Structure 1
Amino acid sequence: MIASLSGAVQHVGLDRAVIEVGGIGVLVYTTPRTASGLRTGAQASLATTLVVREDSLTLYGFDTSGERDTFETVQTVSGVGPRIALAMLAVLSPDEVARAVGAGDVTALTKVPGIGRKGAERLVLELRDKIGHVPGADAGAPSAAAGWQSQVTEALVGLGYTSKQADVAVDRVTPALGADPAVADALRAALRELGR
């Protein structure tokens, strides 16, 4: 998979750009917000994902790896393809998607073109354990702590725990770890907590 792309911007459209990489112009589809930040002739670096279909290879580019990860995750829901996933990121930021899914906010999700009420309910149902946790949502925690906490939570969810289990484990180990522990140490502590 092509995970990132860097080079000179040759062309910018409303929802796409052409970036020169090693003498080759690569077409990258993106959100209007990302496209608006690109300038012809300037250097650009995008987090990317390659969508392989029977009849095409399509590259999608994003400002951040968080946007790319959200794009990939929402496509795990049946009926959601790259176009709807890209439309979702054009309307909502990754944090807003996570908040809407975590809170079951169907109204926010139906603002996305192509997503009706039933589709929004399916998104909430299928994604709640995958992206329902909002990084940094712990009120009053220092920003460094929010950073390691979200990384550990994400790692635990990736290992198969639910967002709720991961949140509880991280909350329980936080007082003993201090403000800015190593993420690996925090993950080990959270896994020990979950093993009890």
Structure 2
Amino acid sequence: MYDYFNGKLVFKAPTHVVIEVGGIGYFVHISLTTFSQIKDQENCKLFISFQVREDAHTLYGFSTEGERHLFHHLISVSGIGPNTGRMILSSITPEEIHAAIVNGQVAIIQKIKGIGPKTAQRVILELQDKLKKQGDNALLPLPVAKQSVPEEALSALVMLGFQKNTVEKVLTALIAQEGNATVEDLIKAALKKL
């Protein structure tokens, strides 16, 4: 029903905002990840997930489409509702959640408040294949500015179709040899060895 709201932030808290769009103030639940992205902004764009239950119609907002996409995956898992999905996205970054699910790291997901061992295993069981098939596209568009040179090179090579474990080994060896190489240099050198 709603894709995004672009408007003035009338009120901001770590758990929710009131965003004014066209003279109407919408109460929107947010994750801490989204709050950290918008806390210094007066106007912003929030990607919306509209959740309907018989006793409530609730709006959830996200600073990126990637975070909203991951939220929809999480709440598709039996036993995880919108509030738990938001708690997961507030506990660790979308990139960390994605990596934990793809790599089957139950312990990381289990550390999140409200997630027990069975739920953590269910999240991985139900989402691992879906997220693997989508690859890094599952979180697009996410900002990549915070990635280090090796992480950017790894991400680029995996997106080109190379196996992550193989790429990591090659990049580790290259970084040991070349030290302060640029992303482009690392990718070019890795392509020769893959």
> What TM-score, normalized by structure 1, do the two folds share?
0.67
Offset from partner CA, 1:52-99 (integer Å, 9 cap, x none): 111111000111000000001111110000011001111122221121
Q: Quickly say closer, same or farther: Cα 1:103–1:44, change in 2 above 3 A.
A: same
Q: Quickly say closer, same or farther: Cα 1:41–1:115, change in 2 above 3 A.
A: closer
- Which one scores higher on RCO, CA 8 angstroms, separation ≥ 6? 2
Partner of 2:136: 135
Partner of 1:75: 75
Q: How big is the shift at 1:112?
A: 1.3
Q: How big is the shift at 1:42?
A: 1.3
Q: Quickly say closer, same or farther: Cα 1:87–1:39, change in 2 above 3 A.
A: closer
Aligned equivalents of 1:99 and 1:36: distance in 2? 21
Q: Quickly say closer, same or farther: Cα 1:126–1:21, change in 2 above 3 A.
A: same
Contact 1:10 1:40 in 2 (8 A): no
Contact 1:11 1:17 in 2 (8 A): yes
Equivalence map 1:24-173=2 (5 Å): 24-39=24-39, 42-132=42-132, 134-135=135-136, 140=153, 143=156, 146=159
Q: How big is the shift at 1:115?
A: 0.4
Aligned equivalents of 1:35 and 1:139: distance in 2? 25
Counterpart residue type for residue 74 of structure 1: L
Contact 1:9 1:39 in 2 (8 A): no
Contact 2:30 2:61 in 1 (8 A): yes
- RMSD of equivalent CA atoms: 2.7
Q: Quickly say closer, same or farther: Cα 1:130–1:50, change in 2 above 3 A.
A: same
Partner of 1:20: 20
Q: Quickly say closer, same or farther: Cα 1:98–1:43, change in 2 above 3 A.
A: same
Q: How big is the shift at 1:140?
A: 4.6
Partner of 1:178: none
For structure 1, the residue ranges without an aligned partner over 5 or more in a row are 151-196
Contact 1:95 1:135 in 2 (8 A): no
Counterpart residue type for residue 43 of structure 1: N
Q: Quickly say closer, same or farther: Cα 1:43–1:140, change in 2 above 3 A.
A: closer
